[in-house]
């Protein structure tokens, strides 16, 4: 099975850190294990400060890890009724340790 790929940034501060040009050879295969839809105000708060603990990450830490086969198991955090958002792989943290901006179809 072929997985989609994304460029993950470690310890980003804001969404702007994710939207810069990046080296496509550094992309990682991922799978989305859960989607989290946030209200507009909550999503905007999230994307402007990735450095704080979030309840929706804490509630899903067991899902986010790098599997033995190299697949990044993530949650997809997005604004309600939008298809773009943030892949989060917290690797046991309550904040988004690794993130990627994607358009999820």
**What share of the chain in percent tops pLDDT 70?**
98
Tokens of 96: 């988004």
**What's the Cα-to-Cα distance from 65 to each of 16, 22, 42, 90, 105, rounded to whole Å?**
24, 22, 24, 7, 22
Q: Quick one: pLDDT at residue 29?
A: 96
Question: What's the CA dihedral at 61, 75, 90, 24 to 10 degrees?
Answer: 160
Question: What's the CA dihedral at 15, 31, 33, 39 to 10 degrees?
Answer: 30
Q: Is the pTM of this model over 0.85?
A: yes
Does residue 4 have a pLDDT over 80?
A: yes
Which of 83, 20, 75 is closest to 7 using CA atoms?
20
């Amino acid at each position: 099975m072929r997985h989609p790929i994304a460029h993950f940034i470690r310890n980003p501060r804001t969404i702007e850190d994710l939207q810069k040009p990046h080296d496509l050879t550094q992309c990682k295969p991922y799978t989305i294990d859960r989607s989290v839809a946030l209200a507009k105000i909550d999503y905007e708060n999230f994307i402007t400060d990735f450095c704080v603990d979030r309840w929706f990450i804490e509630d899903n830490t067991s899902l986010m890890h790098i599997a033995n086969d190299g697949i990044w198991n993530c949650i997809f955090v997005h604004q309600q009724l939008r298809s773009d958002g943030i892949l989060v792989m917290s690797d046991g943290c309550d904040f988004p340790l690794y993130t990627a901006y994607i358009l999820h179809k």
